[in-house]
Structures are given as C-alpha cells and as structure tokens.
Amino acid sequence: MKSSHASAFPAHHTFDVAELRKDFPVLHQKAYGKPLVYFDNAATSQKPSSVIHALSEYYSTTNANIHRGVHYLSQKASQAFDDVRAKVQQFIHAGSEKEIIFVRGTTEGINLVAATFGRMSVSAGDEILVSAMEHHSNIVPWQLLCEEKKAVLKVIPMSDEGVLDMEAYISLLSSRTRLVSVVHTSNSLGTINPVKDMIRLAHQKGIPVLVDAAQAVVHEPIDVQDLDCDFLAFSGHKMLGPTGVGVLYGKLDHLEKMPPYQGGGEMIHSVSFAKTTFNEVPYKFEAGTPNIADVIALGVAIDYLQSMDRSAALNHELGLMEYASLELSKINGLRLIGTSTNKSAVVSFVIDGLNALDVGMYLDTLGIAVRTGHHCTEPVMQRMGIPGTIRASFMFYNTYQEVEQLITGVKKAIELLK
C-alpha cells in the first residue's frame, strides 16, 4: 500500500472530477440534510444526464416496435437499436455483431449459457468449475444444471487475502471439466483475477470459459478476442447505463450450435403448427419485443465512457481505493477483507464488536451510502469466517474529500456504537 495517494497517482490532479460530476444529477442532492456521498457503485452506478435524456428522448420522439414495421418510427427505432449492437461489438472488441446478444443483465446472460450450451455439453459425472469468490448469479445456474444432469460443481479455492489458488485451479482442470465460469473482478473483495491466464490454461485442455465481467467493463477496457473467452456477460446498470439491459458475448461457432433459450417472436424464421425454424444468430436468442429504450441508452453510456480518458479515470479510482485502504487500516479494530495486490476500486472491511448493518445505517445518517452484508457472495463470507462486510466501492466521479468523510464517519460510528 502506497503511503501517498497524491504521489502514487499524480493523474488525479489533472483529472477534472468536479467537471465530470456536473454530468450526474443524482450526486447533487442531500440525504438527511447532508451532501450525498455515493459509495455503492459496485451495486449500481449513477447515470449521466445524456443517458437519462436518451430514455426520455426515445419515448418522446421514437417509441415504436422494431424490425417489423415499415413506417417511419419503426424504421427510426430499429436503426437506433441496431446501431448499439455495433457499438457494443467495438466496445468489447468482438469479432462480429452476431456475437452480441442483448439480455436483461449478467444474471440472464449466465443463465442463458447454462440453459443452452450447458445442457448440450454436460452429462452425468461431468464437472463445471467456478471460483470461491463468485456472485450467486455465477453459482446457482450451475448448481441447477448439475442437479439436472447429475454433474459435479467444483470450486477453485482462494487465500485469506482473496486471491485464487492457481496451482489448485490447474489441478482441478480435468478430462471431465466441461466449462469454467469465473468472475473477472470480485464485487465483494475487489480482486481482479488473472482471467487471461485462466482461459489459456483451460483452452490447453479444450475447456471453454465464461467470464462474468459485470464489475470490470466500467473500470477497464475489455477485449474478448485478446482474452479469447468463449462467453462474457455484463450489465448496463453497473457501467452508467439503465437497469434491465445487459450483454452476452459468445463466440459465433458456439452460438450457432446452441439451441434457443426462449421461444416467441423475433427469434423465429418461420412458424407452422408442424414445424418452426429459427432465426439466425443473434436474433435466435432474443425472443419477443426487446428492451429497446434501455438498449439505446446503453449505447449512450458507452459513448460517455469512450469519450473519457479511461486511463486517468482508472488511476483516480485506484487512488481513492488505496487512500481509503491506507487510512481505514490505521483504525484500531478495523480489518480489511480482500487485500490482493491486484484490486479494483472496492474496499471491504469489518470492525471488531460491531455489526456491519449498524455501521452502514449510521453512515447513512451522515449521507454516506455504502453496502453492508454478504453482497450476494455468501460463500466468500463463509470462507472469511464473517457474516458480512461494510463495502465502499468507488467510481471516477467520487472524490478524496468524500473518502475523508467516510473515514471520519467510520471513526464516529466506532465511538458511538461500541
């Protein structure tokens, strides 16, 4: 841990946070009479005005169903929707627009793969490999599949610091492993996993890999071709976009072999009572009227991210994380949970003798929004021997002054609650 956030990350002096904050209306309000400090970004990010405006603009000027109508509004909506697929392809460097499937979020993306690719690939006695730090949405779909197929879910262990045991991972890859599904960046620990190496090692044995990138795409560039992952899922709402929309990337050869996930309109080529033939990829996986407005707004969120100096934004976020970690670790009785040397902008901690929920509720009275509990990673908490943590997660629009308010608030909570 570096002792000076200023010297460690000089870029924050030229990274104009104050100017960027003007783009986020929700940040300019008070909670319980105190200026809002929003440190729950790993749960959902705030939205810039351009994204909010895109939603209003669509419903005010364009609202129509897509890909079916010949009239002006339908054509306009269809073009706006289709443009986002190309935008996402470029954002994650996919090889084809056909490899981009719109879903409700990371959870639906993983469930789609489990219900299609998983069902066609996994048999009794086969194994699916996940890590000890997975979100519930990257555990439960595989448990359901294993129960159905009488397969085995195996877990890559992690250290006390929250780092995956790569030797154990290598030993777990076997002739019975049909899929590895692993989180890129832990939402509860902040650990950034060596997913590129993990994919390479799995591919050496012909094992496909799914990456949960929900916590990664907003903070760093993702290149699916460089990673060589077979599938990758992420959610719009964690990367400045709306809720209810996300993306599943899949290699085209996989997608073309997979059966449909749901049946209905759009995913069909022709229907008769005798037989239905299915549409081409990606439409085969997008049954029914899509979430048109939110897909369009997701495209605007991507535009916003791409317009920024993302390297400077990342440096700023990491500077906040390191400063918060350093100062919080000086507090007697406070213990950081998740201390990997390769971390995202997340600080999780516990305080001896205090319930995380009580601390979170007290911080809320100061206008400071943090997350408390198990963060949908109960196995992580079980591994660490704790019921839950207090988690502060940072975004480029957060400031060092806000971090100082958090540190002061934690100290006050200890004085008042102990």
CA proximity to 183, closest of 209, 161, 201, 204? 209
Residues 273, 232 share a domain: yes
**Final residue belonging to a domain, choices 278, 306, 334:** 306
**Final residue belonging to a domain, choices 275, 306, 337:** 306
Q: How confident is the model at residue 13 (pLDDT cuts 50, 70, 90)?
A: very low
Residues 263, 360 share a domain: no
Q: Convert the pLDDT of each residue in 73-108 to its tens digit.
A: 999 999 999 999 999 999 999 999 999 999 999 999
Residues 242, 131 share a domain: yes
Q: Where are the alpha helices (DSSP H) in 239-372?
A: 252-257, 292-307, 310-329, 356-365
Give me the CATH number covering residue 314: 3.90.1150.10
Extended strands (E) in 65-208: 100-103, 127-131, 152-156, 177-183
229 a catalytic residue: no
Residues 90, 217 share a domain: yes
Residues 96, 174 share a domain: yes
Q: Which residue has the tokens 């895109």?
A: 54
Is residue 338 situated within a structural domain? yes
**Final residue belonging to a domain, choices 306, 340, 371:** 306
The whole domain housing 296 covers: 52-306
Residues 180, 57 share a domain: yes
Total Cβ atoms within 10 A of residue 297: 27
Is residue 172 situated within a structural domain? yes
Q: Convert the pLDDT of each residue in 18-64 to its tens digit.
A: 999 999 999 999 999 999 999 999 999 999 999 999 999 999 999 99
Residues 161, 268 share a domain: yes
pLDDT value of position 69: 85
Report the distance separating Cα 285 and Cα 243, nearest Å: 20
Is residue 375 situated within a structural domain? yes
Is residue 43 situated within a structural domain? no
Q: How confident is the model at residue 201 (pLDDT cuts 50, 70, 90)?
A: very high
CA proximity to 79, closest of 62, 91, 96, 54? 62
pLDDT, mean over the chain: 94
Q: Convert the pLDDT of each residue in 155-197 to its tens digit.
A: 999 999 999 999 999 999 999 999 999 999 999 999 999 999 9
| From 52, 376, 386, 417, active-site residue | 376
Residues 314, 301 share a domain: no
